[in-house]
Amino acid sequence: MNGAQSLVHTLVDSGVDVCFANPGTSEMHFVAALEDIDAMRGVLGLFEGVVTGAADGYARIADRPAATLLHLGPGLGNGWANLHNARRAHTPLVNIVGDHATHHKQYDAPLDSDIEALAGSLGTWVRRSRCTSEIGRDAAAAVAAAREGAGQIATLILPADASWGEGGERGVLVAPPSKSVVNPATVDHVASVLTSGEPAALLIGGGACREAGLLATSRLAVATGVKTFVETFPTRLERGEGVPMVERLGYLPEQATVQLGNIKHLVVAGAKPPVAFFAYPGVASNLVPEGTQVHMLADTAQDVVRALADVADLVAGDVEPLLQRAVRRPLPSGLLTPQNWIDVISALLPARAIIVDESNTSGLLLPAATAGAPRHDVLTLTGGAIGYGLPVATGAAVAAPDRPVIGLQADGSAMYTISALWTQARENLNVTTVLLNNHAYAILRLELQRVGAGADGPQADNLLDLSGPDLDFVKIAEGMGVPATRATTAEELAAQFSAALSESGPHLIEAIVPSLF
């Protein structure tokens, strides 16, 4: 077998059987290998940012890595922003980047670049296969590396001659190390902090945002009165009826300051101590209140769920968690507003839905409105690089074809990776996108005020405005094979959302919602 075939066989043997791809000349032998190895599903994205975002969404739902296939350094560069989001999400991802043949590198061909430097900027595992016989071994090591700790990006650079050369061998599977268990002394210390009588808060993230971690967190809150918060942008948060509702820490420093006010202790589990997303004049970057002691129960690579359960067993005994009761918002009426479009989604959200949230300013009221909806998962923009929503929804739908995927998408960020709609149509994925069109980068209008850059004016407004010409997302979606409608009232949105959910395949609803800013 050749090197590409040994790579694909090893990936499949390791449980990686989906590859999101945008290949080029250097990757053609990998493409050809898919003809012989039908256990690997190849999914084409028309832009590398769709490829990397889809791999992120897939792994968040499947709890195992997908592979990407990217063309040289420029392909990796095009996909970098959503790899950044995946890195922040601790997503396990095997990132395969083709390169020129070894003997061709000396000529500095036009597409040649320093792939190691670009991949290394993600701060994760990077390896170049040196010859055909090593590809299988390297692929097995990449999968194991991707699964280390909470998960990470493992980039394998694949020279074309190593790919086409004969003498490939299946790699021997490498078991990733188990998550480390938190020291019992740390558990005892945190238990003493929470029972000290001094005001405290508990901030959870990562795996703690799933049911088992939320149950332990709620038990601690009921038993000790500790304030509990989920990190601002969790990788995957389980919510809804029957699951403890834990408030997310606010995006704006002023919000977080109020939430964390007057505490003496902050216990962190599966997250990092909170900092402001950006620096603002006269505003502290560190969101931990001055004088507050920070206690790290478990970092992202440790078994945070077990650690929380151990603390809860010590201090909460037989205390039962507080579960969210079912609450359905009534269907609203009238022209769409930043509030009532969310009420429509809450009223009609199906059970087991996966919400991919990139609604940005239009969705500020979403968490409160959907707290009591049927049980669902929420995926968020972990790294802040916009253009994640449509690709991540694509990957989530590939991972869970039996679950409805709901993409809540802002208009400006949609345009970064709009071609994900084409992949959704091609793969007939059950994704319903509600695209909030307010004709603006509304979040930047807010930030313009907050950074103290000066008053609005025509020049500044022109750089934040998305009208003139208006984007017609119905036509854009239809041009990519996705049925689309437009809603201007709550009644129209409710009817169109219900219809989309009742039919298989992708749909897009352009919801005309005025901006909050």
What pLDDT sits at residue 2?
97
Q: Is residue 331 within 8 Å of 344, Cβ to Cβ? A: yes
What's residue 340's pLDDT?
Answer: 95
Q: Report yes or no on 330 lying in a domain.
A: no
Same domain, 484 and 437: yes
Residue 130 tokens, joined: 């040196």
Instruction: Indicate whether 171 belongs to any domain.
Output: no
36: CATH: 3.40.50.970
Q: Out of 257, 291, 324, pick the residue that ends a domain.
A: 324
Verify that 114 and 220 share a domain, yes or no. Answer: no
Per 3-state DSSP, what percentage of the chain is helix, strand, and coil (rounded to 5)? 40, 20, 40
Q: Comparing C-alpha atoms, which of 288, 284, 246 is closest to residue 263?
A: 288
Domain ranges, residue 205? 184-324
The Cα 466–Cα 449 span in angstroms is: 18
| 287, 369: one domain | no
pLDDT band at 466; cut points 50, 70, 90: confident
Instruction: For residue 205, give the CATH number of its domain.
Output: 3.40.50.1220
Domain match, 377 and 506 both: yes
Domain identity same for 375 and 459: yes
Residue-wise pLDDT tens digits, 284-307: 899 999 999 999 999 999 999 999
10 Å CB burial of residue 75 (0-12, 13-18, 19+) is buried
Cα angle: 132, vertex 136, 139; to 5 degrees: 120
**In the predicted model, what is the mean pLDDT of the chain?**
94
Pair (413, 456) in one structural domain: yes
Compute the average pLDDT of residues 119-125: 94
pTM: 0.95
Structure tokens at 486: 């437009």
pLDDT band at 280 (very low <50, low <70, confident <90, very high): confident
Q: What whole-number distance in Å separates Cα of residue 464 and Cα of residue 141?
A: 45
Of the candidates 331, 411, 395, 403, the residue with the CA atom closest to the CA atom of residue 369: 331
Paired strand residues for 71: 98
Domain match, 346 and 493 both: yes
194 with 300, same domain: the answer is yes
In a domain, 215, yes or no: yes
Whether residue 15 lies inside any domain: the answer is yes
Q: Are residues 312 and 360 in the same domain?
A: no
Residue 300 contacts residue 219 (beta carbons within 8 Å): no
One domain, residues 8 and 85: yes
Q: Is residue 70 part of a domain?
A: yes
pLDDT in tens, 69-118: 999 999 999 999 999 999 999 999 999 999 999 999 999 999 999 999 99
Q: Are residues 507 and 371 in the same domain?
A: yes
Q: Calculate the dihedral angle through the C-alpha atoms of 125, 127, 132, 134, rounding to the nearest 10 degrees.
A: -60
- The kind and range of the H/E element at 196 are none
CA-to-CA distance for 54 and 49, rounded, in angstroms? 8
Same domain, 359 and 472: yes
**In a domain? residue 147:** yes
Q: What percent of the chain has pLDDT over 70?
A: 95
In the sheet with 237-239, reading across from the earlier edge strand, the strands are 237-239, 376-379, 353-358, 405-410, 431-437, 507-512, 484-487
How many domains does one find in the chain? 3
Q: Does residue 303 belong to any structural domain of this protein?
A: yes
Query: Strand pairing partners for 377?
Result: 238, 354
Domain contains 467: yes
Give the domain-ending residue among 164, 194, 222: 164
Split at pLDDT 50, 70, 90, the class of 444 is low
Residues paired with 247 in a beta bridge: 229
Q: Which of 113, 134, 164 is the last residue of a domain?
A: 164
Task: Report the alpha-carbon distance of residue 430 to residue 398 in Å, rounded.
Answer: 9
